[in-house]
Amino acid sequence: MNYIEFTTEDFVLDDYFRKWVNGQLPQEDDFWENWLAEYPEKMEMIRQAEFVLKALEMEHTPIDEKRVSEKIQQILQLTEPVIWRDKPTFFQNNWLKIAASVACIGLLMWYFLQTRSQLPTKYEQLITAQAAQSIEKINNTNEPLKVSLSDGSVITLQPKSRLSFPSTFALDKREVFLSGEALFDIAKDVHKPFLVYANELVTKVLGTSFSIRAFEKDQSVVVRVFTGRVSVLSGKGGTQQINQPFNQNEGVILTPNQMVVFDRLPERLTKTLVENPRILSVDDELPLQNTSFNFDNTPIEQVFETLEKSYGVKIVYDMEVLKNCTVTAPLGEESLYDKLNLICKVIRANYEVVDAQIVISSRGCS
């Protein structure tokens, strides 16, 4: 290579030169040092080329080595050929062949029935079943995305979530479809119930706020209620349910601070309390009567009543056993569960959340 005649551009574009600038040449390669010693007048040009190359460096998205090897493993697993081991002796007996084919047919039938019984419930299938023209919002950002609907409802779509709704709502109902997680703030309209289809769950409301977490990949679907009243229908609802009257008998009704977890395998609905129940505001169905949690020798019955009203929860306990218990504790900002822990300590009791109710067990106070 005749480097004497090179211009700055030529140097910049020369692989060998670039490797030298980037320090990618082997230690023993001292060509460029020697060359520069021989042609010191080229120094200026070399420095210029170096400057251009350095300036052209780009930012690179950091690579997570562990993730890369996981991804590579995944690709290899997905392309793993099914290996049928040839064992000629195995099928020599005819009855074994028959048994094997019976088992195969059985498996096939089981699979067939299995797939048939599973009505399409996935978001995509729900969407394609819709006749009306629909609008889809996808949140590909890392920030929540606010979506306003024509009825005044506001839906906060979490990252990696999709929401689909008709460009105009039907006359008798408002139907939307969710994949992922979203918070719903629904405008009240008693004549038009609001229905959310999310994986296997259908959530029906009249006017309320609640959140749904229904990622296609997750093992469960979760509906949490903040205000108002919500009914959730489970099971193989999906497309079939769309045009049928909502059957409340098959679902559960949730009130504020309650949530329902729908496990997908095996299919099971569990009603429980949200992780951090909030004190209900006056707008809610259960208005606050006494915001003070400053208990001073207060009978336990009254303590529990205060909690029940404040958080809209049901507390189950044996009045007979607890009749002598009183609580003196200046409670305030703690979470409901912290309050319960403290109270239970005082009255030597335990509590557990069963079916969205708080069940107290105690040996009583003397």
Partner 1 sequence: MPDESEVIALWIAFKKGDRAAYARLINIFYKVLFNYGTKLCQDILIVEDCIQDLFLELWQRRDYLSDTEYVKFYLLKALRRKIYFEKNIQQKRQQIAIDTDYEVEFIGEFSIEANIIEIETTDQQLRKLNHILTKLTKREREVIYLKFYQEMDYEQIANLMSINYQSARNLIHTAIKAMKNAWQKD
What are the residues binding partner 1 (CB under 8 A)?
A: 8-9, 12-13, 15, 18, 47-48, 50-61, 63, 68, 71-72, 74-76, 78-79, 81, 135-138, 140, 160
Identity of the residue, 76 or 282, whose beta carbon is nearer to partner 1 in the bound complex: 76
CA distance 174 to 189: 10
Angle, helix 336-346 to helix 300-311, in steps of 10 degrees: 170
Shortest separation between residue 156's beta carbon and partner 1, angstroms:
17
Identity of the residue, 9 or 267, whose beta carbon is nearer to partner 1 in the bound complex: 9
Identity of the residue, 80 or 296, whose beta carbon is nearer to partner 1 in the bound complex: 80
Q: How many CB atoms lie within 10 A of CB 221?
A: 23
Identity of the residue, 58 or 190, whose beta carbon is nearer to partner 1 in the bound complex: 58
Burial class of 249 by CB neighbour count within 10 A (0 to 12, 13 to 18, 19+): exposed
Based on its alpha-carbon atoms, the radius of gyration of the chain, rounded to whole angstroms, reads: 33
Shortest separation between residue 334's beta carbon and partner 1, angstroms:
39
Identity of the residue, 28 or 57, whose beta carbon is nearer to partner 1 in the bound complex: 57
DSSP for residue 186? P
Q: How many CB atoms lie within 10 A of CB 313?
A: 23
CA distance 325 to 346: 9
Identity of the residue, 40 or 88, whose beta carbon is nearer to partner 1 in the bound complex: 40
3-state secondary structure of 195: strand
CA distance 262 to 248: 16
CA distance 166 to 136: 9
Structure tokens at 233: 């229908």
Shortest separation between residue 21's beta carbon and partner 1, angstroms:
9
Query: Residue 233 is which amino acid?
Result: L
Please work out, in degrees rounded to the nearest 5, the angle formed at the alpha carbon of residue 228 by the alpha carbons of 227 and 231: 115
Helix or strand holding residue 242 (H, E): helix 238-242
Shortest separation between residue 140's beta carbon and partner 1, angstroms:
6
Identity of the residue, 71 or 348, whose beta carbon is nearer to partner 1 in the bound complex: 71
- Dihedral-angle region of residue 79 (phi above 0 means left; psi in -120 to 50 means alpha; beta otherwise): alpha
Identity of the residue, 6 or 317, whose beta carbon is nearer to partner 1 in the bound complex: 6
Nearest Cα residue to 336 out of 254, 277, 290: 277
Shortest separation between residue 41's beta carbon and partner 1, angstroms:
17
CA distances from 348 to 96, 160, 366 (A): 65, 46, 11
Shortest separation between residue 336's beta carbon and partner 1, angstroms:
37
Cβ–Cβ < 8 Å for 344, 360 = yes
Shortest separation between residue 82's beta carbon and partner 1, angstroms:
13
Residue with tokens 């020599």: 92
Shortest separation between residue 43's beta carbon and partner 1, angstroms:
13
Shortest separation between residue 24's beta carbon and partner 1, angstroms:
10
Identity of the residue, 51 or 110, whose beta carbon is nearer to partner 1 in the bound complex: 51
Identity of the residue, 50 or 200, whose beta carbon is nearer to partner 1 in the bound complex: 50
Shortest separation between residue 267's beta carbon and partner 1, angstroms:
28
Query: Residue 142 is which amino acid?
Result: N
Cβ–Cβ < 8 Å for 294, 330 = yes
